[in-house]
Amino acid sequence: MPVTRIRLELPERFQFSTQLEVRVSDLNYGNHLGNDGVLTLIHEARRRFLESLGLEEIGADGLGFVIADAAVVYRAQAFYGDRLRIEVAVGNFGSRGCDFYYRIAHVNDSRVVAEAKTGVVCFDFPAQKTMSFPAKVLAKLRDSVG
């Protein structure tokens, strides 16, 4: 039986871009960027994107996002000290969540390292339950799409 591969459809335009360096803690036993390192890098990029919109992953009111799913497609290796550009886009809005899309590439030659998607759900941490997007948050995210 053939192995089925994940296919991600990335948006044509990414709303945000940031640069991060691969740290020693991002490496795996193969001495290259590991699975958990990719998720950590896109988490940081998502936080920076939200910050650029004046939003937080978890606000002082205890409302925020939780990851519902994640998918990563690997294209090339990255090693300790490599400078990576991580592009972020948001879309596929529902009443309680949306998807964030990422493209990670080497800054020096634009070679794509990975493409990813995380599905997030709006969450009320004090009540420990999902909730609808607050209107202000949804408006800022939708406005960023342009």
What is 16-145's CATH topology? Answer: Thiol Ester Dehydrase; Chain A (3.10.129)
Q: How many Cβ atoms sit within 10 Å of the Cβ of residue 91?
A: 16
pLDDT digits (tens, 9 = 90+) for 89-121: 999 999 999 999 999 999 999 999 999 999 999
C-alpha–C-alpha distance, residues 135 and 133, integer Å: 6
pLDDT recorded at residue 112: 98
Indicate whether this model's pTM tops 0.85: yes
C-alpha–C-alpha distance, residues 102 and 44, integer Å: 11
Q: For 59, which DSSP code?
A: -
**Domain positions in the chain:** 16-145
Q: Which residue in 69, 51, 92 sits closest to 6, CA to CA?
A: 69
The whole-chain average pLDDT of the chain stands at: 96
